[in-house]
Amino acid sequence: GQQLNQSPQSMFIQEGEDVSMNCTSSSIFNTWLWYKQEPGEGPVLLIALYKAGELTSNGRLTAQFGITRKDSFLNISASIPSDVGIYFCAGNTNAGKSTFGDGTTLTVKP
């Protein structure tokens, strides 16, 4: 089946630092998505990417859909304590279901 390799697995950073995480796959996806999950809650969509090469921003978050359609990255600039959580990438194919990476756990030290 399709698999997404997400890295890094965890990050410990100081408040104010920038963060970068990425996902790669051996399969092509038609849509890339980035979610944030907090303890005890479901994932919340941060950014959706629909076209290869697309670069999209949402506040301090920026994500890109790789030109090969097999990878994506998410950057968070000037991190703040409330950025703490688990970030997941996900890819969609025409089948409609989402394939998720295993997540990047972000810890921000004040």
Partner 1 sequence: NAGVMQNPRHLVRRRGQEARLRCSPMKGHSHVYWYRQLPEEGLKFMVYLQKENIIDESGMPKERFSAEFPKEGPSILRIQQVVRGDSAAYFCASSRGPALYNEQFFGPGTRLTVL
Residues lying near partner 1 in the complex (CB under 8 A) are found at 4, 6, 30-31, 35, 40-45, 48, 50, 88, 90, 92-103
Q: How far is the CB of 109 from partner 1 (least distance, A)?
A: 21
| Smallest distance, partner 1 to C-beta of residue 92, A | 5
What's the min distance (Å) between Cβ of 110 and partner 1? 25
Judged by CB, which is closer to partner 1: 18, or 58? 58
| CA–CA separation, 49 and 58 (whole Å) | 12
- Pick the closer one to partner 1 by CB: 96 or 110: 96
Q: Which is nearer to partner 1, 4 or 106 (CB)?
A: 4
Nearest distance in Å: CB 70, partner 1: 17
Rounded Cα distance, 58 and 66, in Å: 18
**Which phi and psi (to 5°) does residue 81 adopt?**
-55, -35
| Residue 93 amino acid letter | T
Instruction: DSSP for 35-103, please give it.
Output: EEE-TTS--EEEEEE-STT-EEEETTEEEEE-TTSSEEEEEE-S--GGG-EEEEEEEE-TT--EEE---
